[in-house]
């Protein structure tokens, strides 16, 4: 597969959050603010790159029987390392992501990319795929995080200093008082509604394009 196709799949056509609907649990739970979304998105991106790297390097040499088990161990080690590092250097973010940080281990996106793509591809493709899929997930998180924070809290980027350091304290904009915000947007049901709207938008776009091109194309691949 060429680089363009890999990037296009990860970011758009098979975006893990918005098309494949993988990792919905953290996607919906953590995307209540831009800062949280960015933190979890970057952590997932990092883990995905590491696990794809290891899968591409070691995959061909692993006995079939234990290949999945080895990937799970690698992913668990990578996530645990990320979690420890975050607790040490980004404690505020570590607190606000809570249980969803260690739960990256169970994000089927990470295991799926390692097993079904990276272990069968050359290193460069696997790395690119990790970046593309991770960025696709990050974009989905940021999209939901931006809209939910705007609607629910009336702000954007509040709490980013947890990620960027104390010198950014007070960063972010408060557009209107939180008490006027739409509470639903901050709660899980609101996240589902919003995700549904985003999916509808994506399908509408794809359908319109299909209509123009008048050619059958797999658009809504809701595998897994």
Among 8, 57, 91, 174, binds another protein (CB under 8 A): 91
Least gap, CB of 23 to another protein (angstroms): 22
Query: What's the rounded Cα separation, in Å, for the pair 124 and 126?
Result: 5
Buried b (16+ CB within 10 A) or exposed e, 144-164: bbbbbbbbbbbbbbbbbbbbe
Binding of another protein by 62 (CB under 8 A): yes
Measured from the CB atom, the residue of 108 and 184 that comes closer to another protein is 184
The size of the interface with another protein (CB under 8 A), counted in residues, is 26
**Residue 57 in contact with another protein, rule: CB under 8 A:** no
**Nearest distance in Å: CB 97, another protein:** 15
Per the DSSP assignment, residues forming a β-bridge with 156 are 173
Nearest distance, CB of residue 196 and another protein, angstroms: 21
Binding to another protein (CB under 8 A) within 149-188 occurs at 152, 178-179, 181, 183, 186-187
66 binds another protein (CB under 8 A): yes
Q: Is 127 in the site for another protein (CB under 8 A)?
A: no
187-206 positions binding another protein, by CB under 8 A:
187
Q: How far is the CB of 153 from another protein (least distance, A)?
A: 9
Q: Which residues contact 78 (CB under 8 A, 6 or more apart)?
A: 46, 47, 50, 51
| Pairing relationship of beta strands 155-156 and 173-174 according to DSSP bridges | antiparallel
Backbone CA torsion sign across 59, 60, 61, 65 = positive
Min separation Cβ 49 and another protein, Å = 15
User: 111 near 71, Cβ under 8 Å?
Assistant: yes
Nearest alpha-carbon partner for 134 in 113, 155, 161, 150:
113
Instruction: Kindly indicate which of the ranges 7-15, 64-72, 127-135, 168-176 contains the residues binding another protein, using the contact rule CB under 8 A.
Output: 64-72
Cβ atoms of 168 and 48 closer than 8 Å: no
**Tokens (6 digits) for 78:** 């990578």
CB closer to another protein out of 91 and 196: 91
Identified binder of another protein from the candidate list 1, 89, 192, 204, rule CB under 8 A: 89
The whole-angstrom separation of Cα 137 and Cα 44 is: 8
Binding residues (CB under 8 A) for another protein: these are 62-63, 65-66, 69-70, 73-74, 76-78, 80-81, 84-85, 87-89, 91, 152, 178-179, 181, 183, 186-187
């Amino acid at each position: 597969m060429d680089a363009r196709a890999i990037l296009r799949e990860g970011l758009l056509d098979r975006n893990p959050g918005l098309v494949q609907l993988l990792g919905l649990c953290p996607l919906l739970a953590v995307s209540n603010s831009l800062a949280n979304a960015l933190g979890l998105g970057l952590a997932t991106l990092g883990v995905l790159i590491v696990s794809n790297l290891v899968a591409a390097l070691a995959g061909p040499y692993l006995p079939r029987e234990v290949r999945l088990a080895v990937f799970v161990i690698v992913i668990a080690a990578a996530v645990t390392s990320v979690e420890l590092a975050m607790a040490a250097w980004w404690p505020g973010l570590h607190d606000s992501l809570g249980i969803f940080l260690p739960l990256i281990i169970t994000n089927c996106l990470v295991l799926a990319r390692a097993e079904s793509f990276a272990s069968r591809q050359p290193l460069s493709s696997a790395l690119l795929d990790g970046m593309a899929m991770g960025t696709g997930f990050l974009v989905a998180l940021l999209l939901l995080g931006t809209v939910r924070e705007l609607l629910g809290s009336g702000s954007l980027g509040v709490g980013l200093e947890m990620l960027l350091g104390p010198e950014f304290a007070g960063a972010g904009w408060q557009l209107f008082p939180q008490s006027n915000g739409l509470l639903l947007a901050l709660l899980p049901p609101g996240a589902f509604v919003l995700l549904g709207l985003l999916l509808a938008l994506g399908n509408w776009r794809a359908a319109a394009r299909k209509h123009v091109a008048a050619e059958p194309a797999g658009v809504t691949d809701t595998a897994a």
